[in-house]
Amino acid sequence: MNKVYLDYNATARMRPEVIDLVTKVMHEVGNASSVHDFGRHARKYVEDAREQVANLCNVTPDQVTFTSGATESINTILSGYRDKRILISAIEHPAVIAAAGNNAEKIPVTSDGIVDMDAYKRMLDNETPPALVCVMLVNSETGVIQPIAEMAKLAHEKGSLFFTDAVQAAGRMDISLDTLSVDFMALSAHKFAGPQGVGAIIRGSGLDFPKFMLGGGQEKNYRAGTHNTAGIAGMGIAAEWALNHIADYKKIQNLRDTMEQKLRQISNQIKIYGEQAPRVGNTTNVGFPGIPAQTQMMALDLDGVCVSSGSACSSGSFKASHVLLAMGASEEDAKSALRISLGWATTQSDINRFLESWEKIVKRATQ
């Protein structure tokens, strides 16, 4: 039985050209910091990739710093602000919540999963403006797009810096740094069909950021450690592909929208979280009250369909999603939510398989 993969927000299938280039580089040798021919050849892979990632974000190559992934990028930026006033949204990725520390103030969100702008303005209008505001561009669980440009403008008026986790936005919408008006941005290659274990910090022109990985002078002293040459090369070609194929997400959105219509035909009891808000075209977070998400996931998995949950598993205990709770969902409803995320290799056949399998689950539960 062919497996159906609908968990692109966890990690995307790698593009064939990415696999080919990563494999080619891994057959070669050379440290990108070495000055001999092998080192210079490795350095070219790194610098070519830097230009490709820069193009994706509409910045210059010197504004791109490679890291091991978005979690490191997030920890790097937030490490310099833990003793200062930080605002984060209530629906941030766990990496932001943990890295920001217990003193970070959480901006509430509406029932649609969009930052409550009135509350945000009140939090900015403080005797001590925040040193940093950190809000994700696209939520990983619901796909809801935040009004980052407007939020960044308001933060800058107060003298605050603005950092956005753009991990789930890359390749799905415009992430031009100037358009978003942010100071720092985090990316992760494996979310846009690149390899796992490589990411980047994108910084505004002329801005510095805290040193987190200390050691050698790699990445112009911004991030120490031997370059992951193969991974970086893969990130570069994935970024180039993502930039050139953003329009393809219209097709993916059509698949997603049709899927949601058919979900409603199967059951009018479902709730699609963030449905009325702007969303990227590949993500659906759907809840069916009364059927725990882990029950749905296991049944789907046994049927060869792989999706994710709107909740997180920690130490073997199933927890309600903090994102859905912040949107006003009850704990029981939050624990019934599935995240279905599509990508470049998703087909109508995949969607049909998911719908057929999910319909069987619903019928068993309602008989």
- Catalytic sites, residue numbers: 313
At 290, give phi and psi (nearest 5°): 100, -15
Task: Residue 228: count other Cβ atoms within 10 Å of its Cβ.
Answer: 20
b or e along 144-179 (b: 16 or more beta carbons within 10 Å of the residue's beta carbon)? bbbbbbebbebbeeeebbbbbbbbbbbbbbebebee
Whole-number Å distance between alpha carbons of 5 and 23: 23
Cα(149)–Cα(182) distance, rounded to whole angstroms? 7
Q: Helical H runs in the chain?
A: 16-26, 37-57, 70-79, 94-100, 117-124, 148-157, 177-180, 229-244, 249-266, 293-302, 322-326, 331-334, 348-366
- Number of alpha carbons in the 13 Å side-chain half-sphere of residue 216: 9
d(CA 31, CA 227): 7
Other beta carbons within 10 angstroms of residue 247's beta carbon come to 7
From residue 5, alpha-carbon distances to 190, 261, 291, 306, 323 in Å are 15, 20, 21, 5, 23
